[in-house]
Amino acid sequence: MRMNDGIVKYRNSQNELRYRVAQQVKGIRLRRQDFLTRQEAIAFLEHMRLLIFTGQYESFIEEEIKKRKDADDIPFKEYATRVFKKKRCRDIRTSTKHRYWKALESNVFPNLKLKKLRDLNSRDFDLIKETMLSEGYARSSVNFPLSAITYVLRRAHAEGLIDDMPKNNVSFVIKKRNIFLSDDELSSFLRTVNEYGTGKHEWLKVYAHLQLNTFSRIGEMIALNWDDVDFKNKTIAINKQIDQISQKMGETKNSKIHSSLPLSDDMLLMLKKYKIRCGGCRFLFPNQFYFSSGVRSKNKLNQNIGRMRREGINRMLKLIAVEAGIDPKRMSSHVLRKTAGDRLLRSGFTVHQVAHALRIDAKTVLWTYSTLDEKAFEDKLATFKLLKSGNQVPMNDDKEKEDMENF
């Protein structure tokens, strides 16, 4: 039943009698419900009318919104903990989630203390940077805590807990490291790994050559089974990986796979010989104890034989690097993958072909896996223009040939 004074009586979902205000005063709609008595509703309506007629209604509403926001505001640490502890960050990989949380615990929470979400500003990013640099952290290490803060703030903004995103003004120009092995280094590495990779260490030789042939990540290499190798069709399937944190089998980093990547005859011959040494084990790379124990009978296989660990593989690669005269800090399974991608580009494969091989996007190939001279590229791009007709302005062919020779 609707009353003439703008008070409506109704029953809520629990069948309880309630009152709501529903009236328009000087073009302003007044709507509020769940009053216990009609007197409460009338008192609210009269108060709103008074504010409207005296011109104080807008300032009253602004103050109410501010109070509501202040009541909803919570400390950054409390909200970040809620996000990471309640499985609410499924939009990032497990490894990224783990690193973000470690960065928050180690470098963010101690500095921000009990600061609330709405109080965060650009100065807080600078505070984290200055504190970490004073504690001896490398500049590249500072970026991860700042990225973790940005991730949490974006979640808070999406949920309406903050109105604006504080801007991160911290930027480091990090010199691009030499992340590829040179031709001489690669030759020395392969020569050394071939000499060392015999007997119980044969797995290491197979691992190095197979990664250079398949451009796989270390988690994908560890996850390989003999069922993934098709000796008849001379292919291998790269379609899963071992998660670095949970050590469980899962999909590849970006869900891109190779269902039948071609293998060379030399690689297939190496795999056939290696399979004999593996015996009946279904893993390509079981733990090293499996080879050193000298027992590969069916009874042994009935026990829980694990796969190799990332740490053990990278440790062995660094030992090979020392023997090959390469700085061990520059050697890892990841470096082998990047080196393989770099060799593809230098062999004449297109950027998109290399992106397909590495299962990444073309932009990443351009700026990470190539040895592109960025300054030369920018200078050349500045002279490249398109006419309104769509015809391309001719390039200087002699200059281009000279650039390619220098490259």
pLDDT of residue 143: 87
Q: Which residues contact 52 (CB under 8 A, 6 or more apart)?
A: 25, 26, 28
What lies within 8 Å, CB to CB, of 170 at 6+ separation is: 125, 126, 128, 129, 142, 146
d(CA 364, CA 343) in angstroms, rounded, equals 15
Interacting residues of 38 by C-beta distance below 8 A, sequence separation 6+: 7, 9, 19
Pairing of strands 229-230, 7-11: unpaired
Same fold, 76-158 and 183-343: no
pLDDT tens digit sequence for 160-194? 788 888 888 887 655 555 678 989 999 999 999 99
Residue-range domain boundaries for the chain: 7-72, 76-158, 183-343, 373-407
Find the Cα–Cα–Cα–Cα dihedral 282, 284, 287, 291, rounded to 10°.
90
pLDDT tens digit sequence for 380-392: 777 766 544 445 4
Q: Please state, in angstroms and rounded to a whole number, the distance separating the CA atoms of residues 80 and 147.
A: 13
pLDDT digits (tens, 9 = 90+) for 58-91: 888 887 766 666 556 788 998 899 888 866 677 7
Reply yes or no on domain 76-158 having CATH 2.40.50. Answer: no
What is the reported pLDDT for 71?
52
Q: Give the global pTM.
A: 0.63
Least confident span in 22-36, 63-77, 362-376, 383-397: 383-397
Q: Tens digit of pLDDT for each residue in 343-358? A: 998 888 988 999 999 9
Residue 173: predicted pLDDT: 59
Give the whole-angstrom CA distance, residue 73 versus residue 162. Answer: 8
Q: What would the CATH number be for the domain defined by 183-343?
A: 1.10.443.10
Token look-up 């903004």 returns 157
99: confidence class by pLDDT, cuts 50, 70, 90: confident
Q: What is the pLDDT of residues 221-278, one digit of tens each?
A: 999 999 999 999 999 999 999 887 777 888 888 889 999 999 999 999 999 999 998 8
